[in-house]
Structures are given as C-alpha cells and as structure tokens.
C-alpha cells in the first residue's frame, strides 16, 4: 500500500554539509534516507521543505516521502530515532494526503538567528550563536526590521549561486528581541527565502546596531537590489529553521 508521510525533524547542523544530499558528504537528507531505506527495505527519496546550508540547524524542518508499506508512522518514528547515529531526531511522523509535498505545500517558514552580544565569547554553546563583542543598539535594529516587513525585492540580501525566477518575497514578521542581558534573537517569518537571505539580513542589522548603518541607509540598501551594498553574511552557526507552516 503506497502511503505518504510527513516528517518533522530536529538536527544539529554542525559537521554536516547542509540538508541536501551530496555524493561522499554527510548531509541531513542523506543520513535520513539511509535509515528510512533500511527500515522500509526500499529506496526512499525525501522532499524537504527547503535547503539549509552547512552548519545551519533546525528545530522544525519538514520532509515528505512516498513508500509502499503497512508500517505505522509511530513505528517509523521509533525506528529512525533508534537507528540514527547522528544528531538528527524525528520529532513527528504522520500519514498525509498523497497530494502533500513538503516544499510546494508550505505557506511560510520561520527562522531564528541567535547573537551572543558581550565582550567575552562562550565555551559552551559556541556552535549555536554569533559572538558580537561590541554592544548593539536594539532599538535601531528593530527600526530596520520594520523596513523588512511586507512584500519587497530582496535581491540585496541574496548571495550568488542560486538563480530564482523572482527575488520578490513577502515577510510577515521580523524583529530582534533580547533573550537576556547578553543574548539577542532575530525572528523572521516569510513566504520564502533566497540563498543566505536571513544571514545577510543579520549581518546588515548588526552593522545598524553598531552604528555603521542608519535606518535610512538600511532602506537604501533594500531598495538598491545590489548584494554589494549589504553587510557580511552572518555565520551559519547562529541560524535555526524554527518551523514550516502549512494550511
């Protein structure tokens, strides 16, 4: 019996070459497909909601696949988590309609980016945040976040190497919050994202927080549609795919 499964996956991207399967390299998709193929005794090809780059983490990545099996979602979930030898956890597994596709059925995605904002770096947890040692102005950064919201051409925040039919996206929410006295988190929810879009935004927001870019200057960067005008690409280690939203 052909069934379609929807998976919700958590992983630590440290040491992986990203989500997408690559020959001779450790990837999230590749490791999951190996384990699922072993359990189901048939080739399994996952469709992910989108790619995450090398070093990027996920709390709620979503993937889907079809398989000829009578196994229940619960048995599959337990089997994957028992056999998986990498920091990858199958948080949920459900049967869904055959028309469901993890990428094409998605309505929006939410990412979080974490910044450690203090003079001293950390020893524990350094793979999960960008250390910025100079003090950041949260108010200025949020004034820039307000400019991101809405439907815009985000070409200024797209890295080369991933051509798109359009660089226009809709951002439903973008804000910078203080978790505690020395930790910030950037949250963004959008209809879709360009290559390195979140990390390039964070690099530019940090410039704003350091006084290198004003909100007016940030608006000019957004309007320029020119990647060279924006800030550096923030390190992958601070980025988490929080969740993917469906109807």
- The string of pLDDT tens digits covering residues 143-193 is 999 999 999 999 999 997 666 789 999 999 999 999 988 999 999 999 999
CATH number at residue 14: 3.30.70.580
Domain boundary among 96, 118, 151: 96
Rg of the chain, C-alpha, whole Å: 19
The DSSP letter of residue 11 is E
Active-site residue, 180 included: no
Regarding whether 77 and 159 lie in a shared domain, the answer is no
Does residue 130 fall inside a structural domain?
Answer: yes
Regarding whether 240 and 118 lie in a shared domain, the answer is yes
What mean pLDDT do residues 102-129 have? 97
Label residues 204-229 b or e (16+ Cβ within 10 Å = b).
bbbbbbbeebebeebeebbeeeebeb
Give the length of the chain: 247
Does residue 102 fall inside a structural domain?
Answer: no
Over the chain, what is the mean pLDDT? 96
Phi, psi of 114 (to 5 degrees): -105, 135
What mean pLDDT do residues 53-73 have? 97
Regarding whether 237 and 206 lie in a shared domain, the answer is yes
Does residue 181 fall inside a structural domain?
Answer: yes
| Cα 189 to Cα 170: distance, rounded to the nearest angstrom | 9
Tokens of 102: 């993890």
Domain hosting 184: range is: 107-246
Domain boundary among 42, 64, 96: 96
SS (H, E, C) 154-210: CHHHCCCCCCCCCCEEEEEEEEEEEEECCEEEEEEEECCCCCCHHHHHHHHHHHHHC
Q: Cα separations (Å) of 119 from 97, 127, 133, 211?
A: 51, 17, 4, 17
**In the predicted structure, residue 64 carries a pLDDT above the cut 90:** yes
- Give alpha helix (H) positions in 9-110: 28-40, 73-83
pLDDT score for 160: 79
Beta-carbon contacts of residue 167 (< 8 Å; ≥ 6 apart): 153, 154, 155, 158, 194, 225
Catalytic residue among 12, 53, 153, 180: 53
SS3 content of the chain, % helix, strand, coil (to 5): 30, 35, 40
Regarding whether 213 and 136 lie in a shared domain, the answer is yes
Let me know how many helices (H) and strands (E) the chain has, helices first: 5, 10
pLDDT tens-digit series, residues 206-220: 999 999 999 999 999
In the block, tokens 């979930």 appear at 77
Domain boundary among 51, 76, 96: 96
Does residue 185 fall inside a structural domain?
Answer: yes
Phi, psi of 193 (to 5 degrees): -135, 145
Task: State how many domains the chain has.
Answer: 2
Does residue 14 fall inside a structural domain?
Answer: yes
């Amino acid at each position: 019996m052909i069934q379609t499964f929807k998976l919700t996956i958590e992983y630590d991207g440290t040491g992986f070459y990203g989500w997408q399967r690559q020959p001779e390299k450790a990837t999230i998709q590749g490791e999951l497909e190996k384990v699922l193929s072993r359990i189901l005794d048939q080739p399994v090809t996952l469709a992910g909601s989108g790619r995450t780059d090398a070093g990027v983490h996920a709390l709620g990545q979503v993937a889907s696949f079809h398989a000829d099996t009578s196994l229940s979602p619960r048995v599959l979930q337990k089997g994957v988590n028992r056999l998986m030898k990498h920091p990858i956890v199958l948080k949920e597994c459900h049967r869904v309609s055959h028309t469901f596709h993890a990428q094409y059925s998605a309505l929006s995605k939410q990412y979080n980016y974490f910044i450690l904002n203090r003079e001293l770096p950390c020893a524990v947890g350094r793979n999960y945040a960008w250390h910025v040692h100079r003090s950041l102005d949260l108010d200025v950064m949020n004034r820039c976040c307000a400019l991101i919201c809405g439907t815009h051409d985000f070409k200024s925040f797209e890295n080369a190497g991933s051509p798109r039919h359009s660089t226009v996206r809709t951002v439903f929410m973008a804000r910078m919050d203080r978790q505690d006295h020395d930790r910030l988190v950037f949250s963004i929810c959008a209809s879709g994202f360009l290559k390195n879009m979140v990390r390039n935004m964070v690099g530019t927001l940090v410039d704003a927080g350091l006084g290198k870019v004003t909100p007016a200057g940030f608006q000019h960067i957004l309007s320029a549609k020119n990647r060279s005008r924006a800030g550096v690409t923030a390190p992958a280690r601070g980025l988490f795919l929080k969740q993917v939203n469906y109807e």
